[in-house]
């Protein structure tokens, strides 16, 4: 049985899925047909129910719970890993209401965290996450919301941080930062959904036990080829919450969904999550 699987080409995702898609762990009778898409492309594809299993921003997942459930394995969730708001000029948060800000997508968790922290930041423009730094440098926009590898390298281009949106979330809520999840089509048989979740968990465990084994695969798709940057990226976004959300992880997501405005009737663990 072949399932369609979509995730980003970023190091954290390729590190997680390497063993699963390259048959380093047993997945029979399932196989996985992989597509690599940018985060906003993944969010948009899920609206059309395109993939059996897909990476999603947690904000996008909150809008698609009629179609998808969240697997308890595969998430990007943690402390100190949130998106950064950066600029070329010496702006402060007081300037945000007047700034044109590049974002990696309206339905991304990054944009949710921007609005959560600064509701006055209303002048936004969507673009591919990897284009945001250059848009700031060339003056197309005043500021940019950066994610993934860019948070490790932006300062090398003369850019400066206006705010760490993950830090603001942590200070206000005490919860880790909920960035992205792996979701599965709700209408798949429950035994299939559980098997997929198990494969992802085992793939992560293999990656933790054999961290160098995925190097060539990760570097093949990474925007940044510096080994130290790649390692820092993986260490930041792949952690114990990736292996299993656990009670704290689930409570984090439920709190976020409540802030987004989901009905209390929809904040049911068994309806949202697959273990």
Name which residue leads in pLDDT, 246 or 1: 246
> pTM of the predicted model, to two decimals?
0.91
Are residue 67 and residue 115 in the same domain, yes or no? no
Residue 148: pLDDT over 80: no
Domain boundary among 120, 153, 173: 173
Q: Is residue 160 within 8 Å of residue 241, measured between CB atoms?
A: no
Q: Inform me whether the pLDDT recorded for 36 exceeds 90.
A: yes
Question: Which residues, listed in sequence order, are joined to residue 143 by a DSSP beta bridge?
Answer: 87, 101
For the stretch 98-143, pLDDT in tens is 999 999 989 899 999 999 999 999 999 999 888 999 999 999 999 9
Please report the pLDDT score of residue 49 as a whole number.
95
Chain segment 151-204, per-residue pLDDT in tens: 788 899 999 999 999 999 999 999 999 999 999 999 999 999 999 999 999 999
- Same structural domain for residues 36 and 155? no
**Residue 67: domain span:** 2-78+178-274
Whether residues 165 and 219 fall in one domain? no
User: Are β-strands 143-146 and 101-103 bridged in parallel, bridged antiparallel, or unpaired?
Assistant: parallel
141 and 212 together in one domain: no
Please count the structural domains in the chain.
2
Instruction: Map tokens 């689930």 to a residue.
Output: 250
- Three-state SS for 112-173 is HHHHHHCCCCCCEEECCHHHHHHHHHCCCCCEEEECHHHHHCHHHHCCEEEEEHHHHHHHHH
Residues 67, 194, single domain; the answer is yes
- Sheet-wide strand order for 143-146: 124-126, 101-103, 143-146, 84-87, 160-164
148 catalytically annotated = yes
In the predicted structure, residue 150 carries a pLDDT above the cut 80: no
Residue 10 and residue 144 in one domain:
no
Among residues 130, 154, 173, the one where a domain terminates is: 173
Residues 66 and 188 in one domain: yes
73 shares a domain with 34:
yes
Given a contact cutoff of 8 angstroms between Cβ atoms, the answer to whether 58 and 245 are in contact is no
| Active-site residue, selected from the candidate residues 123, 148, 198, 233 | 148
How far apart CA 180 and CA 243 sit, in angstroms, is 13
pLDDT tens-digit readout, 207-257: 999 999 999 999 998 877 788 888 988 998 999 999 999 999 999 999 999
Same structural domain, 144 and 190: no
pLDDT band at 73 (very low <50, low <70, confident <90, very high): very high
Segment 18-44 shows an average pLDDT of 95
Task: Kindly state whether residues 55 and 132 are assigned to the same domain.
Answer: no
CATH of residue 110's domain is 3.40.190.10
């Amino acid at each position: 049985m072949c399932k369609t699987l979509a995730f980003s080409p970023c190091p954290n995702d390729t590190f997680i899925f390497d063993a699963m898609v390259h048959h380093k762990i047993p997945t029979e009778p399932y196989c996985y047909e992989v597509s690599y898409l940018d985060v906003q492309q993944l969010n948009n594809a899920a609206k059309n129910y395109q993939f059996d299993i897909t990476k999603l921003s947690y904000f996008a997942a909150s809008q698609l719970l009629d179609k998808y459930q969240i697997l308890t394995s595969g998430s990007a969730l943690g402390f100190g890993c949130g998106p950064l708001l950066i600029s070329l000029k010496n702006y402060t948060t007081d300037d945000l209401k007047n700034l044109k800000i590049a974002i990696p997508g309206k339905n991304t968790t990054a944009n949710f965290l921007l609005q959560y922290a600064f509701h006055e930041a209303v002048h936004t423009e969507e673009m591919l996450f990897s284009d945001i730094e250059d848009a700031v440098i060339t003056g197309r926009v005043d500021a940019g919301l950066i994610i993934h590898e860019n948070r490790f390298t932006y300062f090398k281009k003369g850019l400066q941080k206006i705010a760490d949106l993950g830090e603001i979330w942590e200070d206000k809520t005490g919860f880790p930062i909920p960035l992205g999840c792996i979701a599965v089509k709700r209408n798949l048989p429950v035994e299939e959904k559980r098997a997929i979740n198990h494969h992802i968990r085992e793939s992560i465990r293999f990656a933790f036990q054999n961290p160098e084994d995925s190097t060539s695969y990760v570097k093949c798709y990474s925007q940044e080829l510096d080994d130290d940057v790649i390692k820092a990226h993986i260490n930041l976004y792949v952690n114990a919450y990736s292996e299993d959300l656990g009670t704290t992880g689930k409570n984090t997501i439920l709190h976020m969904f409540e802030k987004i405005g989901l009905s209390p009737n929809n904040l049911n663990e068994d309806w949202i999550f697959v273990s």
